[in-house]
Structure 1
Amino acid sequence: MPSDLNQKIYVAGHRGMVGSAIVRNLQAKGYTNTVTRTHAQMDLTDQAAVKAFFEQEKPDQVYLAAAKVGGIYANNTFPAEFIYDNLMVQNNVIHQAFLNGVKKLLFLGSSCIYPRQAPQPMSEDALLTGKLEPTNEPYAIAKIAGIKMCESYNRQYGQSHGVDYRSVMPTNLYGPGDNYHPENSHVIPALIRRFHEAKVSNAPEVVIWGTGTPKREFLYVDDMAAASIFVMQLDKTAYDAQTEPMQSHINVGFGSDVTIAELAASVAKATGYEGKISFDTSKPDGAPRKWMDSGRLNHLGWGPKVQLQQGLKVAYEEFLQEGVRS
């Protein structure tokens, strides 16, 4: 644990699910000088605004959790915005961090950086070994560029300026701050809403798309935040020993996955729905499996604490307070 809990830490994207969890975890660890800006206060795609912020605030560390995100529909409909906005945010924040003397920066990526046919579990070495999933390729390309930007600054300025920029690649996340919108939410918040509404309406059955056999990995967002802080605080020698030369990224996963059928049963239990769960096998399944190899991070001493059923319970409680209104 660093001795200076007063160091100034800028969390970009603090209103998002991951960014808000990072702020919560930093505060829980006793950090007292967290700096944030809303989108209305600073547009991260605006180079001049980001430059002015860094010159004024001079943070000691940066967590770059800000990103334009969305589901398949959004990625397919607005590919130009997804690649432009994310590239601009990354370029502005990482470069201004360097220009203003920030030695430690953590960039948050996504498991979609890996090829669609990557061997399971997906290891860090799979990056750039095959074709990406076409539906979110612009977003993935932007995230890959962010990883390579961190690596490039380390390579050029690590020795001379002490730059140490790292990247974490999370698996599917859920928990407080999630998006429960009925049309563009991810699988867990979508299932929470569906099972809740079925319970309220006494629906006898909830039908899930596909066969229920594909497997997915899920990580509670506060575990992700704890992992981010853990990676940021790691001794450089220990971190470098678990990554490739000049490589900045490391996977963060739960370590095991569940079938969609198992997930649906767990969400039904968390929401108290007692009706029938069936599967429409005429609908597509998607990829049979998406599972991250988190062995390197586990070897460094980090592991998740929140089990799926426990996390789903907390997520549903938050949905009852917030999501049901959206």
Structure 2
Amino acid sequence: MRYYILRNNTEYGPYEVAVLKQYVDDGRILLHDQAKDSNTGVMNTVGYYLRRNNAKVKIKSKGSFVDQLKAIGSELILPVGLLKSKQWLSDKRLLLLALIGLGPSVIMLLPIHGFGVFYAVALYFSAIWGLFFYYFFKTQQVRLKITLSVFFLTQGFVFILWDVLGLPSLNPFYQLIDTVFILDLFGYIFGVGLTEELVKLLPLLLIYRFAKEPLQPKTLVFYGLMSGIAFGVFEGVQYQMSVNIQLDYTSSFFMNIARLTSLPFIHAIWTGIAGYFIGFAKLYPLYRHALYFLAISIPSVMHGLYDTFCSSYLGMLIALPITFIAVFLLTTYLRQAQDYQTKLIK
């Protein structure tokens, strides 16, 4: 019997069984390589055909165990030369893996307490979210410097407007929260939703004000996502240090995780939607009033609806679909960007 060997889309042979066995013994052909019967054309592995022909394989070793280690060489086992050359500093995959995997361990070594610990962990999760959004929403216009500016500007605005100036107390709709259902809904939409979404928009408006070129809507979506993440984690730190610590251990643990993961993500999606419409408003100023209205109203309404229902288990059966709809809308908007351009360019 004779067999062809197929490897990397190349056919070798045909080989007699004895020759095939010898090649396997020598390590030149693998038992899992694909083989084809020269008579029937049937495909299977080399190991299958050798067993079928009662050919017992005895793969050789290249010297002793020590000899094999010497042949591999110390540089392949512990690449000291590469470490000294500092080429690894340009390996983005290595640095990202280290950032994600070792971030909490580094935080444990820092001499920080209280707010510093919560904020450091929030920055760690923000970095992960940033990488995630960069992978899915990056454009050639996205810049690291601007991304960081958006992230910290949003938190700066929140601190000044909330903690220093007391912005929520200036919005009368906040007084409607925790009253009867309809008034509660209005309070969350025109109070919490509208106020928070407007603040998250401020960095995007500043970016476009000083942009040196027209920005794609997808670029504003990315920066909107980062602004939303910044708001979400900053708000999460405040909740962790106030509301969450009053809960029982299990509830506190869960809410601390949620305040760094899912809830900032929801904030990000809402602001990403706003960024999308702001991008089009800047590109097509003839329609800017309607587009600005959509940029503010859609996130505010979805934000308010979510906050109205999310405080109870049964309410979450309504709130969770609302968040899914927000994700659906953002991804659909991005797919339909060309359709928007076609309509607005007329």
* TM-score between the two structures when normalised by the length of structure 1: 0.26
Greater relative contact order structure (CA < 8 Å, 6+ sep):
1
Larger Rg over CA atoms: 2
Which of the two has greater helix per residue? 2
Which of the two has greater strand per residue? 1
* TM-score between the two structures when normalised by the length of structure 2: 0.25
